Amino acid sequence: MICKQQFPFRFGTSSYIIPADIIPNVEFLKDRVDDIELVLFESDEFSNLPSPADMQKLAELAEEWALTYSVHLPLDVYLGHPDRRERERSVGKCLRIIELTRDLPKSAYIMHFEAGPGVDINAFSADENILFTEALCDSIKMLLQGTAVPVSEFCVENLNYPFELVWPVVEEFGLSVTLDVGHLEYYGFPTADYLKRYLRYAKVLHVHGTVEGKDHNSLSYLKSEALELLIGELAHQPFASRVFTMEIFSQEDFDSSCKVMERFIS
C-alpha cells in the first residue's frame, strides 16, 4: 500500500533512502511520500549541494508529483556559540542554503540550537545557559535580517537537552518547532508531556526507532505506545501542512516503516 496522500498530514522521509545522490532518491520517493527532507551539507572535504540543474529538476519533480521539501539546515552550525565570529559563520552557512533552495516548494527549514562541536549543553551552569540563549537570540536576529523567509518557517528541533531551555528564544521570535519524537524516546524525555506542550507549535515531526543503542532506525523499533500516542494527538490536532518525517536512511528501514504506518490508514 502507498502511504502518499493517505494521512491528515504530509507523510515524508529523508533524501537518503537508496544509496545514491539526491535526485535518484527523489525519483524513487516521488510517488511514495508527500514531503522529502533534504539534508544538505558543505565542507572542505565534501559537499552534497545540488547544482543549478539539479535544483531545477527538484522543482520540476515537486510540481509534477505534489511534493514539498523540508530543508535541514547544516548540522555544523553553532548558533549558540559564545564567539560571535563563529555565529556569523554559522548564520552565513544557513543563508547560503536558504538562497540555494529559494525556488523549491518548502514545508520548513529545520534548525539545531547548538553551542559548539561536542559541547554538552546539559553540563552548563545557570550563567552559561543565559549566555547560550543570548547567543541564540543574536544569531536569530542576524538570520532574519539576512532573509525574507517568514520566521514561522524556521523550526527548532529538540535535541539531547531539555527543550524548555531554548523555548523562550523560540517563543520570543515566533519560530516553529520540529518535534523529534525519536529523540524524546532515545534520550528519555516524557513524550506525552512534550506533545501536550509543543505539538501545537510543531510544523514538522521527526519519527524513528532505536535499536542497539542507535536511533534513526525503522519505526518498527519505536515503542508502539509512543507512536500510537503521537498518531492519536495528530488526529486531535489536525494540520494538513504539518510534516511527518520518518527520519531514516535506508530502503529496508523505509519499507518496514511504511508497513508500520499502513495500519493507521483509515
Which residues, at least 6 apart from 238, have a Cβ–Cβ distance to it below 8 Å?
Answer: 8, 9
What pLDDT digit, counting tens, does each position of 196-253 carry? 999 999 999 999 999 999 999 999 999 999 999 999 999 999 999 999 999 999 999 9
Range(s) of the domain holding residue 36: 10-262
What pLDDT digit, counting tens, does each position of 124-142 carry? 999 999 999 999 999 999 9
* Grid-cell match 528564544, residue found: 169
Which residues, at least 6 apart from 122, have a Cβ–Cβ distance to it below 8 Å?
Answer: 160, 161
**Cβ proximity of 210 and 217 under 8 Å:** yes
Answer yes or no: is 162 within a domain: yes
CATH of the domain at 203: 3.20.20.150
Answer yes or no: is 130 within a domain: yes
How high is the pLDDT of residue 249?
97
Q: pLDDT averaged over the chain?
A: 96
pTM: 0.96
**Cβ proximity of 78 and 117 under 8 Å:** yes
Answer yes or no: is 108 within a domain: yes
Helices (H) and strands (E) in the chain, counts: 9, 10
Distances (CA, A) of 121 to 25, 48, 94, 146: 34, 29, 21, 27
Instruction: Count structural domains, the chain.
Output: 1
Question: Would the pLDDT of 1 be above 90?
Answer: no
Question: Would the pLDDT of 43 be above 90?
Answer: no
How high is the pLDDT of residue 48?
85
**Residues 55-62: contacts with CB under 8 Å, at least 24 apart:** 55/100, 55/101, 55/103, 55/104, 57/23, 58/22, 58/23, 58/26, 58/104, 59/103, 59/104, 59/105, 61/26, 61/27, 61/30, 62/104, 62/105
Nearest of 33, 27, 130, 37 to residue 75 by alpha carbon: 37
At residue 12 the predicted structure's pLDDT band, cuts being 50, 70 and 90, is very high
Answer yes or no: is 56 within a domain: yes
What pLDDT digit, counting tens, does each position of 163-209 carry? 999 999 999 999 999 999 999 999 999 999 999 999 999 999 999 99
Answer yes or no: is 3 within a domain: no
How high is the pLDDT of residue 136?
98
Answer yes or no: is 31 within a domain: yes
Which residues, at least 6 apart from 93, have a Cβ–Cβ distance to it below 8 Å?
Answer: 42, 73, 74, 76, 77
Answer yes or no: is 4 within a domain: no
**Cβ proximity of 144 and 133 under 8 Å:** no
How high is the pLDDT of residue 134?
98
How high is the pLDDT of residue 2?
85
How high is the pLDDT of residue 177?
98
* Cα–Cα distance for residue pair 152/234, rounded to 1 Å: 19
Answer yes or no: is 2 within a domain: no
What pLDDT digit, counting tens, does each position of 67-126 carry? 999 999 999 999 999 999 999 999 999 999 999 999 999 999 999 999 999 999 999 999
At residue 266 the predicted structure's pLDDT band, cuts being 50, 70 and 90, is confident
* Cα–Cα distance for residue pair 18/21, rounded to 1 Å: 8
